[in-house]
Structure 1
Amino acid sequence: MPMQSTTFPNRSPSPAWPGPALYDALARRLLLWKFGVQGRVCAEASLEQALTAAADDARFLGPAAGMGFWMWQQRPTSPDLLETFLSLERLTPFLPGHARTALQGMLRLKTLLASLDAAWQTGWEAGDLSRCREVLRTRPLPPPLAGLALRLQAQTLLYDDATAAMDLLAQLDRRQDAAPLFAGWIAVARAFLLRQTGDHAAAAQALRPAWQAMPWHVNLACSLHDLLFLPRACGATAQTLAMSRRTVICLYTWNKARPLAQALDALARSDLGEARVLLLDNGSADATPAVLEDYARRAPHPVDILTLPVNIGAPAARNWLLAQPGVAAAQWVAFLDDDAIVPPHWLWALLETAARHPQAGAVGCQIVGPHAPFPLQAADFHLLPPALCPSGFVDLRERLHILDNGLGEPALGLFDHERPAATVTGCCHLLTRPALDAGGGFDLTFSPSQFDDAARDLRSALAGFPAVCAGHLRVRHLQHSSLSQARTPFQEARIRANKAAMEGLFSDEEAGQLAAMDSARTLEDLARKLNRLGEVE
C-alpha cells in the first residue's frame, strides 16, 4: 500500500491537535514515527526530525514539545531532558503557569538532579529496585523535588506491589506539584497496573486521556486501540481449541539444564489444549537428559523426546524437528527457546493472533528480561529503508537494517499491541504450514545460530506470508539474544558473519521490496487504528 493512499482520521483526537492532516505530515517527515516513539532510537530520531520539520512547518512544534515532555516524564531525574523540554515549551507554551514555574525551580537544582540521576539510573538499568529505593532513602530531596520523589517511589512499586503503586498514583494526582508534570506517566502506569488484573475496560479508560494529550504517540494509540477493540480470551475458545489439535510445540536444547528446567516448569503450567510437545536434546553432555525425562513424566500433555549424539546447531535442529512426521502434518508449529518462561495462556494468545491474521507466516510476541522492570528484548522488528542507514561493514553494502524497536524499555504496556512486523524473534514464535511450504525452513548457512529466524521470516514475507507480533503476550527470557550475547571478539565476529551472510541471501531489489512492504503494512495498520479510535472520540 503506497503511503499516499493511506487515509488518516477525519476527526482530531483533542481540541489541541492542529488537525488530522498532521498525521500524514508526521508519516512523511518523521521516518521512524510509524514504527513507534518509544525507545531511545525511535524517540530521539522522531524528536530530531520533528524539530527539522518545524523550521518550515510550525505545526510540528506541538508534537516536538510533546515528545520532549514525554521523554522527560519517563526519566524525570535527567536535567538534560528537562532543559531540552523547557526550551521547546517556550516555543509553543502549553503548560499551566504554576507547572512551568515548578519545572524551572527543579532545573535550578541541576547539580543535585544530575547526581540523583546518576545514582538512580545505575540501579534502574541494572534492574535493582532495592538499590533505587535506597537512593531515595539516603538522599532526602528538598521541597521543590517532593513531587519528583513521590513519582520515583511509585516507579519502584509498579512491579512488586500493585496496591501500593496505585495508592501513590492517586496521591500524585492530588498534588499540584506533581499532577500536571507527570500526568502522562501516571495515566500510562495506572493503565499498566489495571491491565495486569485483566480489567481492559478500566485500563482503556485510564489510557484515553494520555492519548488525547499525546495524539502523536503511536504506541499509546496502538495500545489503546487493542484495549478497546481487540477481543482476547484468557483461555481457549472453540476456535483456538480446534486449532490446538493441529499444533505441535517444539523445543531444542544443548547443555542448558538449569534454565531448561525453569522453562519446562513454566511449560508444564501452560494450558496447551490438545497440542503435543516435541523436545530435542541436541547432543547435551550435562544433566539435560534427566531434566527432559522428568518433565515428560509429569507434564499434563503428550510429550515426545528426540536425542541426537552431537550438537547440529540451531537451524538444523529446527529443521530436524520440522521433518518429524507429527510436525510435518501440523498446521501450526510453535518454537520455544530452552530459556523462555511462558505464561499459562501463551499458546492461546499466539493462536488467537494467527486466527485474526490467516496470511501471517510467523506470529511472535514481546520478549522481556527475566526480572523487574522486565526490559524489552524484542517486539515488532522493522526494516529501515536501505538508503537511510550507513553500512555497518567496511567492505559490504548493508541493506537489511533491522530496527530493534524499543530495546531496553521497561515493561509499561506501551508495546502490548498487535502489529505487523518485518520479523519476530524466534525465542517464542508460531509458524504456519502454508508459510513453511511456501518459504521453507531454516537456512543452515546460519549455523550454529543467529539470524536464521529473521532470514526465514523475510523469505516468508517475499512468498506472501509476512510476520505479525502479538505484543499483548509477554514472555520472559532468562538470557538475551543476538549481539547482546556476545562475550568475546570471536562470538561477536561470528554473529556479524551471520549478518553478512543474510545480506547475501537477498538481492538489492528484494531488500528494497521488503523494507517498502514493511513500511506500507505498518502505516496501513496505524491509519486503521487511528481511524477506529477517531470513531469513538
Structure 2
Amino acid sequence: MAAHRRRARRRLPRRDGGRLVTDVLCITVTYSPGPTLEAFVGSLAPNGFPPGRVVVVDNGSTDGAPEAVAEAHPEVTLVRAPGNVGYGRAVNLGAEQARSADEWLLVCNPDTLATPDTLARLLEAAHRAPRAGALGPRVLDPDGSVYPSARALPSIRTGIGHALLSGVWPSNPWTRRYQQRDVSASASPAEVGWLSGAFLLLRREAFDQIGGFDPDFFMYFEDVDLGRRLAEAGWSNLFVPEAVVTHVGGESTARSADAMVAAHHRSAHLYVAKTHPGALWRPVVAVLGVGLRLRSRATIVLDRLRG
C-alpha cells in the first residue's frame, strides 16, 4: 500500500483571487455525455482546480464532448480508456494519474453540478473525521427534492423486499430500511453503509488500501461494494449534508435505458454472489439470479409500454 502522510491542505492563488486546491484529483467517466460534461466542469471551477487536475476518463464517446471540454478548459486532462471498460475500471484508470501529493480523489458523474463550496465542505468534514474513507454530499434531484444517497448495505432479505415491492409500495419497510431517506434528508452528518457514487470524496490512503473499485462491476453496485469493503477495512462512509450537489441525469443513460436496467440487475446478482460465497449459499444465489433476470426483463417491458 502506498503511504500518504497527512499534511495541511496546500492552496495556491488563482488569478481571480480565489485559491487552488492542490491535493485533490477529480475523476469523472464519460460515454457520449453531451452538454452535461461542460456544465459539470463549469460547476467545479469555483472549487479551485489547477490545470490538469480534472481527469476525464472517456469510455469511447462518439459525440466529441470530452475533446471539446478538454480543449476549452486547462484544468481538464483527457484520458482515453481502451474501449468501454465500465465505470469502476475507468475510475481506477483515472486514479493512476494521481501524484504523490494527492491525498484525495473526487469521483463524480459528469451529470452532476457542484456548488462553489461543495468540495470545501467535504474536505472540512474529512479533516474532522480521520477514519472517513468516503464522504458524500447531499444529492438533490433537478426538482430540488432530496435523493436517498446515504444508504444501508443491503441484506438478502432487505434486497428481496425492496426489489419486489418498491415499484408498487414505495413506503414498504424493506425499502425504507435500505434507502434510509430520513438520513439523506437530515441536517446532521452520519456514518452509513454506503454512499452514492454520483459524487464521492475518497481518502486516497483508504482507496489504495482496498485496491480501488472492483472492476468486476461494469456499472452499478460498484459504489455499494466500495462502501462495504471500506467498512471491512476499518474506514467509515460519512454523509455530509452541508455539502450539496445536484444530479441532473445523463444523456448516455437516457439513450440506453434498457441496457442500464439489465446492467443494474446483473450487478445486483454479482454483489449477492460476492457477499455470499461458498457451497451453502450457492443455491440461494442461483435462485436470486433467476429472479433478477426475470425482474430485469419485466422492468424493460413495462418501461416500454409506459412509453
Q: Give the TM-score normalised by the residue count of structure 1.
A: 0.42
Give unmatched runs, 5+ long, in structure 2: 1-6, 12-19, 165-173, 279-307
1:361 counterpart SS class: strand
Deviations 1:192-248 (A, max 9, x none): xxxxxxxxxxxxxxxxxxxxxxxxxxxxxxxxxxxxxxxxxxxxxx95556943221
Separation in structure 2 between the aligned mates of residue 466 and residue 414 of structure 1, nearest angstrom: 19
Greater percentage in helix: 1
Contact 1:419 1:468 in 2 (8 A): yes
1:466: how far off?
1.8
Query: Structure 2 residue aligned with 1:249, among 6, 26, 33?
Result: 26
Deviations 1:442-491 (A, max 9, x none): 112211x11111101111110101200111111001118xx999843x54
The question of 1:465 aligning with 2:235 is answered yes
Contact 2:213 2:222 in 1 (8 A): yes
1:355 counterpart SS class: helix
Greater percentage in strand: 2
Equivalent in the alignment of 1:428: 199
Instruction: Spell out the pairing of 1:306-455 with structure 2 (5 A cutoff).
Output: 306-308=79-81, 310-326=83-99, 330-371=102-143, 374-383=144-153, 390=160, 403-406=178-181, 414-447=185-218, 449-455=219-225
1:468 counterpart SS class: strand
1:303: how far off?
3.4
Please identify runs of 4+ aligned residues in structure 1 that moved more than 3 A: 238-244, 271-275, 383-394, 483-488
Separation in structure 2 between the aligned mates of residue 380 and residue 252 of structure 1, nearest angstrom: 21
Equivalent in the alignment of 1:495: 264
Give the letter aligned to residue 363 of structure 1. L
Root mean square deviation, CA, Å? 3.4
Equivalent in the alignment of 1:515: none
Separation in structure 2 between the aligned mates of residue 393 and residue 369 of structure 1, nearest angstrom: 22
Give the letter aligned to residue 58 of structure 2. D
Separation in structure 2 between the aligned mates of residue 241 and residue 329 of structure 1, nearest angstrom: 10
**CA distance 1:334–1:316, shift in 2 (3 Å):** same
Give the letter aligned to residue 188 of structure 2. H
- Compare CA radii of gyration and give the structure with the larger one: 1
1:393: how far off?
7.5
Deviations 1:291-331 (A, max 9, x none): 3234424xxxx4322223522211111111112352x6521
Equivalent in the alignment of 1:289: 66
**CA distance 1:353–1:484, shift in 2 (3 Å):** farther
Separation in structure 1 between the aligned mates of residue 260 and residue 54 of structure 2, nearest angstrom: 31
- Number of aligned residue pairs: 252
1:281: how far off?
2.2
1:273: how far off?
7.6
2:77 counterpart SS class: strand
Separation in structure 1 between the aligned mates of residue 245 and residue 159 of structure 2, nearest angstrom: 31
Give the letter aligned to residue 24 of structure 2. T
Q: Give the TM-score normalised by the residue count of structure 2.
A: 0.71
Contact 2:27 2:108 in 1 (8 A): yes
Instruction: Spell out the pairing of 1:156-167 with structure 2 (5 A cutoff).
Output: none
Separation in structure 2 between the aligned mates of residue 470 and residue 485 of structure 1, nearest angstrom: 32
Query: Structure 2 residue aligned with 1:276, among 53, 57, 61?
Result: 53
Give the letter aligned to residue 306 of structure 1. V
Contact 1:425 1:453 in 2 (8 A): yes
Identity among equivalent positions (%) equals 22
Separation in structure 2 between the aligned mates of residue 306 and residue 424 of structure 1, nearest angstrom: 26
Contact 1:416 1:473 in 2 (8 A): no
Separation in structure 1 between the aligned mates of residue 192 and residue 255 of structure 2, nearest angstrom: 23
**CA distance 1:339–1:388, shift in 2 (3 Å):** closer
Contact 2:21 2:48 in 1 (8 A): no
